[in-house]
């Protein structure tokens, strides 16, 4: 379906809604930025953030532009199974994190997750983890900007390149000025706008298809139509044995159509969401790694006013997360019923905006998408700046740097990361066009999230884990992920005369499982073969009473961003 041009989609009320939202966001960021005095204000919001704002910020950050476009697109292509990334992939890990890991990390006084890992292990582990997060954040920012371009090109009719540049300048600007506090409070506003905008397209979409029962019926009819086409094409191909077998894609689509409403897909599915991957790769590894070890997520809770509020923020966020699959995945199924012939699933949601929403609500949904996009970009920009400043500059360049200079470096790092994200977004438009935005994002995560979680989990729960074993295990785990990805590429397999390792289209969930196991096994064996860690390392494990305060070990200058170097 050809998307309607901007002039035919958006009216004056739509532009008014979008303008009010953008001006409000910029105003909040600038007002908060005027109050920043120290590095800890920039990186941790002065450790004064309330639980309710952090919780909404967690949700807004996780529902990025990749989710509104990517999850809807994945639901269009593969069905409701993608909702497991919210229900199974978020809520349980957030509850466990709230009562186990977040309090422990908060009491440690660390500014970043890599900093905590150095305190527990050694500088090598910190350096590898900080490098992985920095690379991932840079790539992820490019993915988010690309999602912006797809949406804007579909709804506004603008050039993709212009959309990427405008978004980077806008979000990079208020993040550079306002720091984490601006990120959290603008995210809070963006969370409300996101839910309202996505609800609008959900409700109107269900009305358009005639209700939930009729939606299910139309999905079945779409399945029957595709399967009938497959039967005809198969008969034709059998009558012409010398013909080129061009029906594989259609047949695959018929198989996927039949599972649109299934939450659990079989192990032999060709979609990226088989049940072993969901339960073992997602629920046990990728999800806790994301919610417990993701710097962009954990950082805002480290800026909470108290340990209680840090825990409460995760519980509040988990409650909100329960409604997210309904408002971001179900619209993809609505698009299957209304627009069954789209070539690219990532165009499903932009297409629905053009045909469903009236004047005013179109502007609200576009504002919701901008909110989702901006909330994720600002979070990763601020976290990337924190890693550059604390885990690289402060740790390895100038350990005596002044607090004011840390603030300057943090803002400069935000600008640099914004520019790099622009470059990567443009590169991304030339590569992997066969994959959806969401699959690219998850594949990047799978490269190191499994190994990172193994190191963090064993480091906290097992006092015998040693730094040298953790370093070797981390590197080998990441190499395993990259190796599995490489050996699963058709071009590589063809050159080596091998079959792809996995049948599913995007096996990122399996990458994380195997990488986690490799890291954990090497870490355990290596730790048993090396001398036990020093006694001071045990302060960062559960062998120390949970009520023991660790913040005092960081530095007497805890109120300053100088704490990022800690007592290392």
pLDDT in tens, 26-63: 788 778 877 777 777 777 877 889 999 999 988 887 87
The answer to the question of residue 410 being in a domain is yes
Distance of alpha carbon 52 from alpha carbon 55, whole angstroms:
5
Average pLDDT over residues 258-285: 68
- Look at residue 240 and tell me if it is in a domain: no
Q: Domain containing 411 — which CATH number? A: 1.20.1730.10
Establish if 470 belongs to a structural domain: no
Range 338-356 burial, b when 16+ CB lie within 10 A, else e: bebebeebbbbbbbbbbbb
Q: Tell me how far apart the alpha carbons of residues 535 and 223 are, in angstroms, rounded to a whole number.
A: 62
Give the pLDDT confidence score for residue 466 in this predicted structure: 94
Q: Residue 420: phi, psi to the nearest 5?
A: -65, -40
Given a contact cutoff of 8 angstroms between Cβ atoms, the answer to whether 201 and 362 are in contact is: no
- Record the tokens describing residue 174, joined without a space: 């208020």
Higher pLDDT, residue 532 or 85: 532
Asked whether 442 and 272 are in contact (CB, 8 A), the reply is yes
Model confidence at 89: pLDDT above 70 = yes
pLDDT tens profile 469-528: 999 999 999 999 888 887 777 777 778 777 766 666 566 667 778 889 999 999 999 999
Say if 104 falls within a structural domain.
Answer: yes
Instruction: Read off the pTM.
Output: 0.77
Q: Is residue 524 assigned to a domain?
A: no
Predicted local distance difference test score (pLDDT) of residue 173: 80
56 in any annotated domain:
yes
402: left (phi over 0), alpha (psi -120 to 50) or beta: beta
pLDDT digits (tens, 9 = 90+) for 525-549: 999 999 999 888 888 887 664 455 5
Domain containing residue 414 = 42-233+249-430
pLDDT band, very low/low/confident/very high, at 100 (cuts 50, 70, 90) = confident
- Percent of residues, the chain, with pLDDT higher than 70: 77
Residue 293 lies in a domain: yes
Distances (CA, A) of 157 to 6, 127, 193, 272: 5, 43, 22, 31
Packing angle of the helix pair 361-386, 51-62 (nearest 10 deg): 100
The predicted structure's pLDDT at residue 559: 35
Dump pLDDT digits (tens) for 417-472: 888 888 888 877 766 554 555 556 666 766 788 898 899 999 988 999 999 999 99
- Structurally, the chain folds into a number of domains equal to 1
pLDDT at 143: 78
- Residue 157: inside a domain, yes or no? yes
Looking up tokens 């997750």 gives 113
Residue 240, pLDDT above cutoff 90: no
* From 64-78, 262-276, 404-418, 487-501, the region with the lowest mean pLDDT: 262-276
Question: Which one is predicted more confidently, 256 or 427?
Answer: 427
Rg (CA), the chain: 24
**Separation CA 516–CA 528 (nearest Å):** 18
């Amino acid at each position: 379906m050809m998307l309607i041009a901007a002039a035919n989609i958006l009216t004056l009320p739509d532009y008014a809604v979008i303008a009010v939202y953008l001006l409000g966001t910029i105003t909040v960021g600038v007002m908060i930025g005027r109050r920043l005095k120290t590095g800890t204000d920039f990186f941790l919001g002065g450790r004064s953030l309330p639980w309710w704002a952090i919780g909404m910020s967690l949700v807004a950050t996780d529902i990025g532009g990749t989710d509104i476009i990517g999850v809807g697109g994945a639901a269009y292509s593969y069905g409701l199974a993608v909702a497991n990334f919210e229900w199974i992939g978020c809520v349980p890990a957030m509850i466990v994190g709230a009562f186990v890991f977040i309090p422990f990390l908060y009491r440690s006084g660390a500014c970043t997750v890599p900093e905590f890992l150095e305190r527990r292990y050694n500088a090598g582990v910190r350096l590898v983890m900080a490098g992985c997060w920095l690379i991932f954040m840079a790539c992820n920012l490019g993915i988010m900007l690309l999602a912006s371009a797809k949406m804007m090109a579909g709804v506004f009719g603008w050039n993709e390149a212009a959309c990427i540049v405008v978004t980077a300048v806008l979000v990079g600007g208020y993040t550079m000025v306002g720091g984490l506090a601006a990120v959290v409070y603008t995210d809070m506003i963006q969370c409300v706008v996101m839910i309202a905008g996505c609800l609008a397209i959900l409700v109107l979409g269900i009305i358009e298809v005639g209700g939930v029962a009729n939606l299910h019926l139309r999905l079945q009819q779409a399945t029957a139509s595709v399967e009938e086409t497959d039967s005809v094409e198969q008969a034709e191909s059998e009558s012409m044995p010398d013909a080129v077998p061009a029906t594989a894609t259609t047949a695959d689509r018929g198989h996927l159509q039949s599972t649109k409403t299934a939450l659990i897909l079989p192990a032999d599915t060709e979609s990226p969401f088989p049940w072993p991957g969901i339960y073992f790769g997602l629920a046990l590894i990728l999800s806790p790694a994301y919610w417990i070890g993701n710097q962009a997520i954990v950082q805002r809770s480290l800026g909470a006013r108290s340990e209680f509020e840090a825990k409460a923020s995760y519980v509040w966020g988990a409650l909100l997360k329960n409604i997210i699959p309904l408002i971001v995945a179900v619209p993809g199924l609505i698009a299957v019923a209304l627009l069954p012939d789209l070539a690219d699933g990532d165009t499903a949601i932009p297409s629905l905006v053009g045909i469903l929403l009236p004047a005013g609500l179109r502007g609200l949904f576009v504002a919701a998408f901008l909110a989702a996009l901006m909330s994720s970009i600002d979070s990763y920009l601020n976290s990337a700046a924190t890693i550059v400043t604390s885990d690289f500059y402060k740790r390895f360049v100038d350990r005596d740097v002044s607090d004011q200079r840390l603030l300057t470096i943090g803002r400069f790092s935000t600008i640099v990361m914004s520019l790099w994200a622009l470059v990567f977004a443009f590169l991304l438009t030339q590569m992997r066009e066969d994959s959806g935005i969401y699959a690219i994002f998850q594949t990047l995560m799978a490269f190191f999230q499994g190994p990172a979680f193994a190191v963090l989990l064993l480091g906290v729960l097992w006092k015998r884990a040693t730094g040298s074993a953790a370093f070797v295990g981390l590197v080998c785990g990441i190499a395993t992920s990259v190796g599995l990805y490489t050996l699963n590429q058709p071009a590589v397999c063809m050159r080596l005369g091998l079959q792809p390792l996995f049948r599913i289209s995007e096996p990122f969930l399996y990458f994380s499982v195997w990488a986690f196991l490799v890291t954990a096994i090497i870490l355990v064996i290596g730790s048993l073969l090396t001398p036990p860690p020093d006694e001071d390392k045990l302060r960062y494990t559960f062998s120390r009473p949970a009520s023991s305060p660790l913040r005092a070990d960081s530095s007497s200058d805890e109120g300053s961003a100088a704490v990022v170097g800690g007592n290392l």
